[in-house]
């Protein structure tokens, strides 16, 4: 990346007139006056040219595979991939690097070139890329600041931000009327179209992303779950195919590691390097199926730490769950309440604790999916306080409802809440999780949207262990957090943006392309109506499921307008989505958000042996048959001891290399004792 930048810079210099080419000329400095983050109002020109690449120090290749869309235009196009964002960036950088004498026309010309080149690559986006949109009079809310500014979007990117923008004629204008404009939500955890025992979740990528967009979420990250024993890459390709066919918004993929061996290791490597996956989930639950032993977890974490991946864990102690499930069934509890009884929250907390320990041993960033209980959240926040690199992800369900419904008399209702880890029966849990989310101890929110029809849930009507696990939430996620955290005063709007979008983008290494409203970012944004009140009901929701676990909940706050890829997909309550426009967004490894600290620690954590002289005292005789029955009288057979022992100590003396100069017990002062006898070493202190 760095080299490439330099190349570009060199190219820039060639373009420039010779007398301006010197970098860092002093007379350009005054132009910097209004540059930076707080210039939004006065000088619109500067506001338009925030170059976050220049601001984000050390951020490696954040925009690398920008145009690498899901249509297989992968490696051959990589060069042009570089050039296209590069040109824009060059235009932006000009302001910052004070080479602004370059004519505006030249820049425009170049961007025209770029566009035509890009059009050649991705013809199917032609119509979409020519769309232009202006949002006027909104208050832009990012995770760090809020300010009033207009936003001009073109080609699915944000081109200008500021007041009094110069925009071409005939641009569609949306009046925000002072409402908040926030980056589109990123739902970092979904299971759309997940296969389950010959069937699949009722929300496929089309239906699921539609629901997401209706709720203000403009990007989802789905989990690829390969069957144990199957190829990860094949499963990944399968998911790509499903999503490319149907997805209405951009998406990315986590891959779950369901078994571990050398070939899996190679596949993980390939996925990171070639396929744009940077996060992998492992399971500590589902005994005999997905579950991994501690040793395997250790190996996976070590490997991911080397390759710059994020280790996600499903944290529950599968072994104890298996025992408890057997116990519950034996006690005659077969209904959905058995689910929560057999998976008490301490098992979740225990597994989180273990995962944190393993991650800290391997120096690997850890991401705990589905934080459902107070105790698990507490463990995460404790670990963060101790300095561990841990991220916690509560999901919409745990933030919006609790586990008391498992005891519902209505089987279908109770079953619809079944998910793992289960919702906590403690009704104060949602409130608590919101507090930790507001304080930053939990970092991101997902939905773990995984919907099954009642008929599918009924597979487990006589045995709760057979109920397919999953709840809805992709549509309600944003509104739920707004209602429960922001309107109650726990969280401010900037934090709201952080937990619904920005932090996820940072973890996935997509920031600032996603998760921020800034020049050059993708045009995924939402005009958020803080006063709208809606009641959640299965009748009107966009998911295909017959039930909604938030049924009847009144939520304040809703998206008014949703813009995805520069196109309006939700306006006036009408959803206009088109299947298949969603692009796969590849994530690059080593996200700064997680790995900056890891890298620094890696350098510190070099272990060194103590240089010390050889031990030259007597060595007791032993046999290496560890585990074999030892003869009880081993000490009473001194027959072959002397010979062996002398040999040993002679051997060690012949080998010493360093001990001469060290202040240890001098070799000359050797302790002479009969082998096997007791040497009275008094110089121990």
SS3 (DSSP) at 426: coil
In whole angstroms, the minimum distance from the beta carbon of 84 to other proteins comes to 36
Half-sphere exposure (Cβ direction) of 621: Cα atoms closer than 13 Å: 18
Closest among 11, 1, 3 to 90, alpha carbons compared: 11
Measured distance CA(282)–CA(314) in Å, rounded: 6
Q: Which is nearer to other proteins, 150 or 267 (CB)?
A: 267
Count CA within 13 A, CB hemisphere, residue 257: 33
Cα distance between residue 286 and residue 413, in whole Å: 24
**Does residue 664 sit in helix, strand or coil?**
coil
Residue closest to 482 by CA, chosen among 523, 518, 532, 440? 532
Residue 410 sits in the site that holds other proteins (CB under 8 A)? yes
Q: How far apart are CA 250 and CA 546, in angstroms?
A: 26
Residues 96 and 35 sit within 8 Å (Cβ to Cβ): yes
**By the rule CB under 8 A, 679 interacts with other proteins:** yes
Q: Which two tokens stand for residue 415?
A: 């079953």
How far apart CA 555 and CA 419 sit, in angstroms, is 23
User: Minimal distance in Å, beta carbon 310 to other proteins?
Assistant: 20
CB atoms within 10 A of CB 74: 16
65-73, 559-567, 583-591, 604-612 -> range binding other proteins (CB under 8 A): 604-612
Q: Which stretch binds other proteins (CB under 8 A): 9-17, 152-160, 450-458, 596-604?
A: 450-458
- For other proteins, the closer of residues 55 and 671 by Cβ is 671
Shortest CB 669 distance to other proteins, Å? 12
Q: What's the min distance (Å) between Cβ of 619 and other proteins?
A: 4
Residues numbered 285-304 forming contacts with other proteins, rule: CB under 8 A:
287-289, 293-295, 298-299
- Cα–chain center distance at 559: 24
| Binding of other proteins by 604 (CB under 8 A) | no
Gap between the Cα atoms of 164 and 42, Å rounded: 10
Shortest distance, CB of residue 555 to other proteins, whole angstroms?
14
Given candidates 411, 432, 556, 580, which one binds other proteins under the rule CB under 8 A? 411
Between residues 24 and 229, which has the closer beta carbon with respect to other proteins?
A: 229
| Closest to other proteins by CB, 190 or 548 | 548
Near other proteins by CB under 8 A: residue from 6, 72, 407, 600:
407
HSE toward the beta carbon, residue 453, CA cutoff 13 A: 9
In the complex, least distance from residue 351 CB atom to other proteins, rounded to whole angstroms: 9
Could you tell me whether strands 217-224 and 250-257 are parallel, antiparallel, or unpaired per DSSP bridges?
parallel
Structure tokens at 396: 């919409």
Q: Is 459 in the site for other proteins (CB under 8 A)?
A: yes
What single-letter DSSP state applies at residue 629? P
Please state the length of the chain: 685
Q: Which of 14, 640, 669, 678 binds other proteins (CB under 8 A)?
A: 678
Q: Is 197 in the site for other proteins (CB under 8 A)?
A: yes
- Are residues 436 and 405 in contact, defined by beta-carbon separation less than 8 angstroms? no
Task: Name residue, tokens 């745990």.
Answer: 398
Stretch near other proteins under the rule CB under 8 A, chosen from 100-108, 162-170, 505-513, 609-617: 609-617
Q: Are 376 and 581 in contact (CB under 8 A)?
A: no
Q: Which two tokens stand for residue 337?
A: 């309440």
- A 10 A CB-CB count for 412 gives 15
| The one among 455, 533, 653, 658 contacting other proteins by CB under 8 A | 455
Nearer to other proteins, 40 or 548 (CB): 548
- Stretch of residues binding other proteins (CB under 8 A), selected from 116-124, 143-151, 314-322, 391-399: 314-322
Task: Name residues whose C-beta falls within 8 Å of residue 249's C-beta, 6 or more positions apart in sequence.
Answer: 209, 212, 213, 217, 218, 219, 220, 524, 564, 565, 569, 577, 581, 582
Q: Choose between 62 and 675: whose C-beta lies nearer to other proteins.
A: 675
Q: How far is the CB of 38 from other proteins (least distance, A)?
A: 43
Site for other proteins in 330-389 (CB under 8 A): 331-335, 337-338, 341, 344, 346-347, 349-350, 353-354, 357-358, 360-361
- Nearer to other proteins by Cβ, of 375 and 577: the residue is 375
Scanning residues 132 to 151, which ones bind other proteins (CB under 8 A)? Answer: none
Q: Closest CB to other proteins among 161 and 545?
A: 545
Whichever of 54 and 619 has its CB closer to other proteins, that residue is: 619
CA distance 456 to 31: 63
Nearer to other proteins, 175 or 554 (CB): 554
Question: By C-beta, is 227 or 274 nearer to other proteins?
Answer: 227
Question: Does residue 480 touch other proteins according to CB under 8 A?
Answer: no
Q: Which residue lies nearer to other proteins by CB, 76 or 677?
A: 677
Residues 208-247 that bind other proteins (CB under 8 A): 226-231, 234-235, 238
Considering beta carbons, is residue 307 or 354 the nearer one to other proteins? 354
Applying CB under 8 A, does 638 fall inside the site for other proteins? no
DSSP string, 174-214: EE-TT-EEEEPEEEEEE-TT-EETTEE-S--HHHHHHHHHH
By CB under 8 A, tell whether 630 contacts other proteins: yes
Smallest distance from other proteins to CB 267, Å: 14
CA dist 407 to 149, 336, 403, 412, 421, Å? 50, 7, 8, 11, 16
Find where tokens 């012949």 sit.
654
Binding region for other proteins (CB under 8 A) out of 165-173, 198-206, 391-399, 474-482:
198-206
Stretch that binds other proteins, among 2-10, 73-81, 217-225, 409-417 (CB under 8 A): 409-417
- On the CB side of 635, CA atoms within 13 Å amount to 2
| For other proteins, the closer CB: 130 or 537 | 537
Residues of this chain, 317-336, that bind other proteins according to CB under 8 A: 317, 319-320, 322-324, 328, 331-335
Tell me how far, at minimum, the Cβ of 207 lies from other proteins, in Å. 13
Identify which of residues 184 and 430 has a Cβ nearer to other proteins in the complex.
Answer: 430
Identify the bridge partners of residue 134 per DSSP, sorted by sequence position: 152, 173
Residue 195 is a binding residue for other proteins (CB under 8 A)? yes
Beta strands of 572-642 (E only): which ranges? 574-575
Site for other proteins in 528-587 (CB under 8 A): 537-539, 546-548, 551-552
The piece of 149-157, 214-222, 571-579, 658-666 that touches other proteins (CB under 8 A) is 658-666
Dihedral angle sign, alpha carbons of residues 525, 222, 473, 370: negative
Q: How many residues bind other proteins (CB under 8 A)?
A: 116
Q: Is the Cβ of residue 261 or residue 295 nearer to other proteins in the bound state?
A: 295
- Determine phi and psi for 615, rounding to 5 degrees: -75, 125
Q: Are 138 and 149 in contact (CB under 8 A)?
A: yes
- CB 183, CB 516: distance < 8 Å: yes
CB of 613 to other proteins, least distance (A): 7
681 contributes a contact to other proteins by CB under 8 A: yes
For the chain, helix (H) and strand (E) counts, in that order, are: 23, 18
Q: Taking the complex as a whole, how short is the minimal distance between the CB of residue 33 and other proteins, in angstroms?
A: 51
Residues numbered 73 to 92 that lie near other proteins (CB under 8 A) are none
């Amino acid at each position: 990346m760095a080299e490439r930048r330099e190349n570009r810079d060199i190219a820039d210099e060639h373009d420039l007139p010779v007398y301006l080419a010197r970098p860092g000329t002093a007379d350009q400095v005054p132009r910097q006056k209004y540059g930076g983050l707080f210039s939004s109002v006065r000088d619109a020109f500067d506001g338009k040219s925030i170059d976050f690449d220049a601001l984000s120090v050390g951020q490696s290749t954040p925009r690398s595979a920008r145009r690498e869309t899901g249509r297989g235009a992968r490696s051959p196009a990589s060069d042009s991939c570089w050039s296209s964002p590069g040109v824009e960036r060059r235009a932006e950088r000009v302001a910052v690097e004070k080479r602004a004498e370059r004519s505006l026309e030249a820049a425009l010309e170049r961007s025209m070139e770029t566009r035509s080149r890009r059009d050649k690559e991705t013809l199917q986006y032609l119509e979409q890329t020519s769309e232009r949109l202006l949002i006027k009079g909104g208050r832009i809310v990012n995770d760090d600041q809020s300010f009033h500014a207009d936003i001009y979007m073109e080609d699915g990117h944000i081109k200008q931000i500021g007041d009094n923008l110069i925009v071409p004629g005939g641009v569609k204008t949306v009046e925000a009327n002072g409402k908040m404009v926030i980056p589109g939500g990123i739902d970092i955890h979904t299971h759309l179209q997940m296969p389950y025992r010959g069937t699949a979740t009722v929300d496929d990528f089309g239906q699921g992303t539609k629901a997401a967009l209706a709720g203000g979420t403009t990007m989802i990250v789905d989990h690829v779950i390969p069957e144990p024993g199957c190829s990860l890459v094949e499963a990944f390709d399968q998911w790509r195919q499903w999503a490319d066919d149907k997805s209405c918004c951009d998406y990315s993929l986590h891959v779950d590691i369901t078994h571990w061996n050398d070939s899996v290791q190679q596949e993980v490597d390939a996925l990171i390097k070639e396929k744009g996956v940077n996060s992998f989930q492992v399971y500590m639950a589902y005994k005999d199926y997905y579950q991994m032993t501690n040793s395997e977890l250790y190996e996976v974490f070590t490997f991911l730490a080397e390759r710059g991946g994020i280790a996600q864990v499903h944290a529950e102690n599968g072994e104890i769950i298996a025992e408890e499930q057997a116990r519950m069934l034996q006690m005659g509890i077969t209904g959905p309440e058995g689910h929560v009884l057999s998976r008490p929250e301490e098992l979740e907390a225990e597994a989180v604790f273990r995962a944190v320990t393993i991650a800290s041993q391997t120096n690997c960033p850890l991401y705990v999916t589905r934080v459902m209980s107070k105790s698990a959240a507490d463990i995460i926040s404790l670990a963060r306080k101790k300095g561990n690199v841990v991220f916690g992800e509560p999901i919409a369900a745990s933030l919006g409802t609790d586990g008391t419904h498992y005891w519902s008399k209505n089987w279908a209702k109770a079953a619809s809440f079944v998910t793992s880890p289960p919702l906590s029966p403690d009704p104060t849990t949602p409130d608590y999780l919101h507090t930790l989310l507001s304080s930053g101890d939990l970092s991101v929110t997902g939905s773990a949207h995984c919907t099954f029809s009642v008929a599918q849930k009924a597979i487990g009507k006589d045995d709760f262990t057979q109920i397919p696990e999953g709840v809805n939430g992709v549509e309600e996620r944003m509104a739920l957090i707004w209602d429960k955290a922001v309107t109650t005063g726990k969280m401010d709007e900037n934090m709201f943006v952080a937990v619904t979008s920005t932090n996820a983008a940072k973890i996935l290494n997509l920031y600032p392309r996603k998760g921020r409203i800034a020049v050059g970012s993708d045009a995924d944004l939402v005009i958020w109506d803080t006063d709208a009140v809606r009641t959640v009901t299965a009748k009107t929701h966009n998911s295909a499921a017959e039930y909604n676990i938030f049924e009847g909940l009144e939520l304040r706050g809703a998206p008014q307008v949703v813009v995805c890829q520069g196109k309006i997909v939700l306006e006036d309550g009408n959803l206009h989505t088109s299947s298949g426009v969603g692009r796969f967004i590849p994530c690059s490894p080593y996200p700064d958000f997680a790995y900056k600290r890891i890298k620094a620690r890696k350098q510190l954590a070099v272990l060194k042996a103590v240089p010390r002289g050889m031990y030259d005292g007597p060595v007791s005789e032993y046999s290496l048959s560890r585990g074999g029955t030892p003869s009880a009288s081993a000490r009473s057979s001194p027959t072959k001891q002397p010979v062996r022992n002398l040999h040993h100590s002679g051997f060690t003396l012949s080998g010493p290399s360093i001990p001469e100069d060290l202040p240890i017990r001098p070799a000359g002062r050797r302790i002479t004792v009969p082998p096997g006898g007791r040497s009275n070493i008094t110089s121990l202190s």
